Amino acid sequence: MNDLMTLSQKADALEEQMARELDYIVVKSRLYQLAEGDMGPPTNPAEARKKNPNARVLMGDDPRLPAMPEAPTLMDFFKYRFGPSMHLLQSARHAVKGGLPEKMVLACLLHDISTAGFIRGDHGYWGAQLVEPYVDPEVTWAIRAHQVLRFYPDESVGYEYPQSYITGFGEDYRPDQYIQDDYKRMRDHKWYMSGRMITVHDIYSFDPNVHVELEEFEDVIGRNFKQPEEGLGFDNSPVAHMWRAMIRPAKYL
Ligand SMILES: [Fe+2]
Ligand SMILES: [Fe+2]
């Protein structure tokens, strides 16, 4: 394996190697298969076992991923599971410079954690749900709203429709109906401006030389994110399984 391989290429190459040498069969989730356009049946463990009769499907820790502490904190997820998070760190610092209250700095820090660690489509909704038991309701609301509000300009705060959306989705793109409906509801909500503030600080045109460390926000997280003692994923909260899915993303069952 060389340094030019992407993480997912490395993962694929390792899967092959794992079944042969490490006695693991990795069966990708249905979601992954759908996203890859493969509508066929999932990897058949019995077939895969022909290469190595001792191989088992993955039910424990994933040997491809860094080990997680027994009671993982939000900071641990940033360090060991989330993809590159410089965008989140820079958004949070931008929010600090803009004089936003601390809980909104946290909202900016967490606004894209779903794309960073869980799932892209509807990331505002998923991200809000991930953090809901641990943050102020306004933070949850704002994270959910930012994804919707990004599609709609607001001159009062100098927010324009993103150029990157025109490039990425095309000139003719129109948000899905449920986004349009949610926009109407969100526009009239008492926390509209909190969701809007995330879009204002959700910027992609940073100086690439600006580096922000997660530790800069350790105190903000400490004061505004109710870290469960048992660790995220093990606190019996309604979203614990979602955090566990990030700890062991390829668990067979
Ligand atoms: Fe976002
Ligand atoms: Fe963002």
Residue 50: predicted pLDDT: 84
Please state which of the ranges 17-26, 84-93, 115-124 shows the lowest mean pLDDT: 17-26
Helix spans in the chain (H): 7-17, 30-35, 45-49, 74-80, 86-97, 102-110, 113-117, 123-131, 137-149, 163-169, 177-187, 192-201, 218-224, 240-247
Q: Which ligand is nearest to the CA of 88?
A: 2
**Residue 222 pLDDT > 60:** yes
Q: Which residues contact 162 (CB under 8 A, 6 or more apart)?
A: 150, 204
Average pLDDT of the residues of the chain: 89
Residue 194 Cα, ligand 2 centroid: separation in angstroms? 14
Residue 1: predicted pLDDT: 42
Residue 46: predicted pLDDT: 83
Residue 21: predicted pLDDT: 67
Residue 116 Cα, ligand 2 centroid: separation in angstroms? 10
Residues counted in the chain? 253
Q: Which tens digits make up the pLDDT trace of 88-109?
A: 999 999 999 999 999 999 999 9
Residue 208: predicted pLDDT: 75
* 8 A C-beta contact, residue 214 and residue 159: no
Exposure on the CB side of residue 121, measured as CA atoms within 13 A: 5
Domains delineated in the chain: 7-57 (no CATH), 74-246 (1.10.3210)
Residue 141 Cα, ligand 1 centroid: separation in angstroms? 13
Residue 165: predicted pLDDT: 93
Residue 147 Cα, ligand 1 centroid: separation in angstroms? 5
The share of the chain scoring above pLDDT 90, in percent, equals: 68
Supply the pTM of this predicted model.
0.88
> Could you tell me which of 47, 49, 79 has the C-alpha nearest to residue 66?
79
Mean pLDDT of 236-245: 98
Residue 48 Cα, ligand 1 centroid: separation in angstroms? 38
- Band of residue 9 on the pLDDT scale cut at 50, 70, 90: low
Residue 110 Cα, ligand 1 centroid: separation in angstroms? 9
Residue 210 Cα, ligand 1 centroid: separation in angstroms? 20
Residue 48: predicted pLDDT: 80
Q: Which ligand is nearest to the CA of 115?
A: 1
Residue 186: predicted pLDDT: 98
Q: Which tens digits make up the pLDDT trace of 24-52?
A: 777 777 677 666 666 566 678 888 888 88
Residue 65 Cα, ligand 1 centroid: separation in angstroms? 25
Mean pLDDT of 140-156: 98
Residue 180: predicted pLDDT: 98
Residue 185 Cα, ligand 2 centroid: separation in angstroms? 21
Residue 111 Cα, ligand 1 centroid: separation in angstroms? 6
Residue 203: predicted pLDDT: 80
